Amino acid sequence: MSLAKVIEVTGQSEESFEAAVKEAVAQVAKEIQTIKCVDVVKWTADVENGKLVHYRADCKILYLEE
Instruction: Measure the CA–CA gap between 61 and 58, rounded to whole angstroms.
Output: 10
Residue 18: what are its φ and ψ, rounded to 5°?
Answer: -60, -40
> Model's pTM, two decimal places?
0.90
Instruction: Measure the CA–CA gap between 10 and 30, rounded to whole angstroms.
Output: 15
CA nearest 25: which of 43, 13, 37? 37
pLDDT digits (tens, 9 = 90+) for 15-46: 999 999 999 999 999 999 999 999 999 999 99
Instruction: Measure the CA–CA gap between 33 and 22, rounded to whole angstroms.
Output: 15
Class of domain 3-65: alpha beta
Instruction: Measure the CA–CA gap between 60 and 3, rounded to whole angstroms.
Output: 16
